[in-house]
Structure 1
Amino acid sequence: MDSVRTPDSGTAEPSDTPAPPALGRKVVTAARWSLINTVVMRLGNFATGILLARFALGPAEWGVYGLAQTVLLVLLSANELGVGLALVRWDGDPRRFAPTVLTLGAASSGLLYAAIFFAAPTVAGLLDSPGASGVLRVMCLCLVIDGVAQVPAGILTREFAQGRRMLIDALNFVLSTAVTLVLAFAGWGAMSFAWGAVAGNVAALAGCALAAPGALRFGWDPRQARALLKFGLPLAGASLLALAVVNVDTMVVGSSLGQTALGFYVLAFNMSGWPVRIISEAARRVSFAGFSRLADSPQALAQGFSRALGVLVTGTVPLCVLLGGLAAPVVHLVYGSTWVPAAAALPWLMAVGLVRIGCELAYDCLVAAGQRRSLILVQGLWVLALVPVLVVGARLGGIVGVSQGHVVVAAALVVPAFLYALGRAGIGLAPIARACAWPFFAGAVMTLVLLTAKWLLGDGTPALLVTGAAALACYAVCVLPSRRFLLGSRTPETA
């Protein structure tokens, strides 16, 4: 693995990494704050989504929002050229090279916004959604805001300051939700999401600037800029490919099946992302920084990745099984009868969500281990295989066919490719199998209990509650043997 160099020196500086026990405490504390933050924010977004879907917006408007959000996410993956990760990964004081990072990020995001502003009508037309042009122009203002906010946010991530991040995210949520709801009930349609996102991002930028004072200082050092771009551009490419994997289906559905079908698909995909966003997002706010501290020791990295994967999978499997097995009654109960067609795609998308959690953790681990070339190859292979499969799936089976196409590509190609890349980084199959064995076994038992109870009791709301409780109880019992491993108890192989 290549040594990690600071941008203003030719050799790696002595690491200021804390001792392992101190690092462990910081990671655990940060992970706890991050999980609380993510759960609270996602529950708030969940409640907001219910209000909008039931009383303000229909499937077509959700479809326009989904397209605009997809374009924004893809552009966000490239808007700071990947150099922001240097604030987390490089040794030394990040404030020495933060001004160059800020200049690069602000310049690239400004150029990207100018490009999407003029290209918005063309992009919306290609995606068979002409009405999305104005929404795109407003929502993509977040590009410029993000290009500036990445520096203080990166410093907070490096310092494991997730308590401060929670306050910032709460400010973002309150303001963006208030603006979105007011505009949506005033009849602004999908544009309400766009202005809400802009308002929330402005608030987050202000909060990050206050939480990391002195971070918003522009500067330029050509030597630093060359080192940053050499480090960041491959990561930006891999990130762009990763987001293409997640969002290409939106473009396929929108261009092939229309805005109404896209609205149903976006709702189902968002539901399938609940476990990903609640659990994986919380973990990823500390995983890259944690893996980066372990990257010089292959054995420590393998053990850290295995335990992190075990915790994520254990927490995610029951959510995926519940939402997949009870898709129709859950959609009807939460969003109303108008949205029930979305339930047909949900079981398949829950399987994809579980794969995404493992792949995102592997992504962070491979970046920390310096395996950037492997990442780009895996992500590129994923996109190349996914596009034709999703197009065929859309034509043959609508949104269900698209969802099934995701599962086929993930199981047959993506998981083996990531396992191979992890093996090259020194993480073999044995620790990964150990991390997943008990959760997968418990998930299979839970699925049998869920289907049996559903067959016996039906789909009514009381039956739904009883079925879910029984299935969760069985899962908890079956996964108990893995508790020592998940809690990090010392064993002969890890002592």
Structure 2
Amino acid sequence: MDSVRTPDSGTAEASDTPAPDSFGRKVRSAARWSLINTVVMRLGNFATGILLARFALGPAEWGVYGIAQTVLLVLLSANELGVGLAIIRWDGDPRRFAPTVLTLGTLSSGLLYTAIFVSAPTVAGLLGSPSAAGVLRVMCLCLVIDGIAQVPAGFLTREFAQGKRMIIDALNFVLSTTVTLVLAFAGWGAMSFAWGAVAGNIAALVGCALAAPGTLKFGWDPEQARALLKFGLPLAGASLLALAVVNVDTMVVGSTLGQVSLGFYVLAFNMSGWPVRIISEAARRVSFAGFSRLADSPTALAQGFSRALGVLVTGTVPLCVLLAGLAGPVVQLVYGKEWLPAAQALPWLMALGLVRIGCELAYDCLVATGQRRSLILVQGLWLVALIPVLIAGARLHGIVGVSQAHVLVAVGLVVPVFLYALGRAGIGLAPIARACAWPLFGGAVMALVILVAKQLLGDGTLALLVVGTAALAVYVVCVLPSRRFLFGSRTAETV
């Protein structure tokens, strides 16, 4: 494992190596705040999406938004060249190299925005949505804002300051949602998402700067810049590949099936992301920093990873099974009959969401242990295998075929490769199997209960509630034997 240090940091300072009990308390506190934050924000986004889908925007507008969002997410993955992670990962006082990080991030984000501004019409046309060019130009202003904000945000993550992050994210949500709703109901269409995103990101930048004072200072040290780029570029490449894997399906659907089908697919994909975003995002705000502190102890890292994986899978499986088994009734109840075509792809996308949660946690663990080359190889292999399978799936079975193609590649190829990479980092199959066994068993029993209950009770709203409640009760009983493994030891090894 590579040891990552700044050029002038020497050895880690005492403040960076907290006592085990203190570290465990910080991680648990940060995880709780992060989970609360994510749940509240996602519930708010969920309610906003219902309002927009039912009363303001149709599938075509959602398709345009999906294109713009996809391009933005892919560009954000390479926005600051990966150097922002040094604020979290490097030993020593980060204020020594933060000015150089800020300068690099701002320059790279500015150049990237200039490139997308000029090429927006071409990019939108290639993706089958020429009307998305203007939305792209506005929404991608978030690149510049993110390039500046990643330094103060990195300080908050490094210190596990998730309580402050919750306040900042709340400001972001309130402002972005207000702007989006006002503009959408005023007839701005997909452009309402773009201006809402810009407004929210500005609020987040101001909040991060206030919560981490003194971090927005520009500077330049050539030696630090070389070390930062050496550290960050492989991570940026891996992150870009990871985002391309998640978003290439949107490009395939848009260019192959058109904006309306893309709108249905985007809605289904967003629904499949509910458990991923609520649980996985909460964990990822502390997992990288936590794994980084455990990286020098293979035993502690393996225990921390398996326990974190067990908690994530245990919390995610019931949500995925419920949404997959009750896809049609849920889509009709929440969004209306107009959006029912999205339900056809949802069960497969829920399976993909469950796989993504494990892969994202593995990604953070491999980054923390310095396995950057392995990450690039895994993500590159995933993308190369995925593109032709997605295209074939789209042409054969539309958005359902795209969803099936995703699952086929993820389960058949990517999961085994990630397991191999984790094995090289000292995390064997046994702790991973132990973490996943009871939740997957409970999910299988839960799916059987849903299938039988639907046949007996039908798809009405009352039946939906009864079936969901019964399935969750069965799941809880099935996973009870794993409670000691998940919560029995509160040590520094818990991530």
Same fold (TM over 0.5): yes
Q: How do residues 83-102 of structure 1 correspond to structure 2 at under 5 angstroms?
A: 83-102=83-102
CA offsets 1:71-111 (integer angstroms, 9 cap, x no match): 00000000100000000001111111100000000000000
Distance 2:17 2:345 in 1: 46
Match of 2:441 in 1: 441
Are the equivalent residues in 2 in contact too, given 1:31–1:286 (CA < 8 A)?
Answer: yes
Match of 2:62 in 1: 62
The Cα shift of 1:20 comes to 1.1
The Cα shift of 1:380 comes to 0.3
CA offsets 1:230-257 (integer angstroms, 9 cap, x no match): 0000000000000001000000000000
Q: How do residues 178-257 of structure 1 correspond to structure 2 at under 5 angstroms?
A: 178-257=178-257
> Aligned pair 1:13/2:15, yes or no?
no
Distance 1:128 1:2 in 2: 43
Match of 1:134 in 2: 134
Distance 2:411 2:54 in 1: 35
Are the equivalent residues in 2 in contact too, given 1:121–1:130 (CA < 8 A)?
Answer: yes
Distance 2:457 2:226 in 1: 64
The Cα shift of 1:13 comes to 3.4
Q: How do residues 299-378 of structure 1 correspond to structure 2 at under 5 angstroms?
A: 299-378=299-378
Which residue identity is paired with 1:102?
L
Give unmatched runs, 5+ long, in structure 2. Answer: none
Are the equivalent residues in 2 in contact too, given 1:269–1:349 (CA < 8 A)?
Answer: yes
Are the equivalent residues in 2 in contact too, given 1:307–1:488 (CA < 8 A)?
Answer: no
Are the equivalent residues in 2 in contact too, given 1:54–1:335 (CA < 8 A)?
Answer: yes
Are the equivalent residues in 1 in contact too, given 2:24–2:490 (CA < 8 A)?
Answer: no
The Cα shift of 1:17 comes to 1.4
> Aligned pair 1:459/2:459, yes or no?
yes
Q: Structure 1 185/418 Cα, relative in aligned 2: closer, same or farther at 3 Å? A: same
The Cα shift of 1:14 comes to 4.3
Are the equivalent residues in 1 in contact too, given 2:100–2:221 (CA < 8 A)?
Answer: yes
Distance 2:450 2:7 in 1: 54
Match of 2:419 in 1: 419
Distance 2:170 2:428 in 1: 39
Query: What secondary structure, in the 3-state scheme, does the structure 2 residue paired with 1:131 have?
Result: helix
Which residue identity is paired with 2:256?
S
The Cα shift of 1:490 comes to 8.0
Which residue identity is paired with 2:175?
L
Are the equivalent residues in 2 in contact too, given 1:6–1:13 (CA < 8 A)?
Answer: no
Distance 2:313 2:392 in 1: 31
Give unmatched runs, 5+ long, in structure 1. Answer: none
Distance 1:24 1:423 in 2: 25
Distance 1:86 1:403 in 2: 35
Identity of aligned residues (%): 86
CA offsets 1:362-403 (integer angstroms, 9 cap, x no match): 000000011000000000000000000000000000000000
The Cα shift of 1:159 comes to 0.3
Which residue identity is paired with 1:198?
V
> Aligned pair 1:118/2:118, yes or no?
yes
Distance 2:312 2:180 in 1: 32
Distance 2:358 2:75 in 1: 24
CA offsets 1:218-274 (integer angstroms, 9 cap, x no match): 000000001100000000000000000100000000000000000000000000000
Which residue identity is paired with 1:186?
A
CA offsets 1:29-73 (integer angstroms, 9 cap, x no match): 000000000000000000000000000000000000000000000
Distance 2:364 2:23 in 1: 18
Which residue identity is paired with 2:292?
S
Are the equivalent residues in 1 in contact too, given 2:78–2:239 (CA < 8 A)?
Answer: yes
Which residue identity is paired with 2:261?
A
Are the equivalent residues in 1 in contact too, given 2:309–2:432 (CA < 8 A)?
Answer: yes
> Aligned pair 1:258/2:251, yes or no?
no
> Aligned pair 1:392/2:392, yes or no?
yes
Distance 1:377 1:208 in 2: 34
The Cα shift of 1:5 comes to 1.2
Distance 1:488 1:194 in 2: 46
Query: What secondary structure, in the 3-state scheme, does the structure 1 residue paired with 2:345 have?
Result: helix
The Cα shift of 1:128 comes to 1.1
Which residue identity is paired with 1:241?
L
Are the equivalent residues in 2 in contact too, given 1:113–1:143 (CA < 8 A)?
Answer: yes
TM-score w.r.t. length of structure 2: 0.98
Distance 2:456 2:236 in 1: 51
Distance 2:266 2:393 in 1: 16
Query: What secondary structure, in the 3-state scheme, does the structure 2 residue paired with 1:23 have?
Result: helix
Distance 1:490 1:402 in 2: 42
Distance 1:47 1:141 in 2: 25
Distance 1:139 1:168 in 2: 20
Q: Structure 1 94/488 Cα, relative in aligned 2: closer, same or farther at 3 Å? A: farther
Distance 1:488 1:255 in 2: 50
Query: What secondary structure, in the 3-state scheme, does the structure 1 residue paired with 2:407 have?
Result: helix
Distance 2:310 2:23 in 1: 20
Match of 2:82 in 1: 82
Are the equivalent residues in 2 in contact too, given 1:7–1:97 (CA < 8 A)?
Answer: no
The Cα shift of 1:2 comes to 1.4
Which residue identity is paired with 2:213?
P
Are the equivalent residues in 2 in contact too, given 1:3–1:12 (CA < 8 A)?
Answer: no
Q: Structure 1 7/121 Cα, relative in aligned 2: closer, same or farther at 3 Å? A: same
Query: What secondary structure, in the 3-state scheme, does the structure 1 residue paired with 2:92 have?
Result: coil
Are the equivalent residues in 2 in contact too, given 1:8–1:223 (CA < 8 A)?
Answer: no
CA offsets 1:405-425 (integer angstroms, 9 cap, x no match): 001001110000000000000
Match of 2:271 in 1: 271
Distance 1:105 1:245 in 2: 24
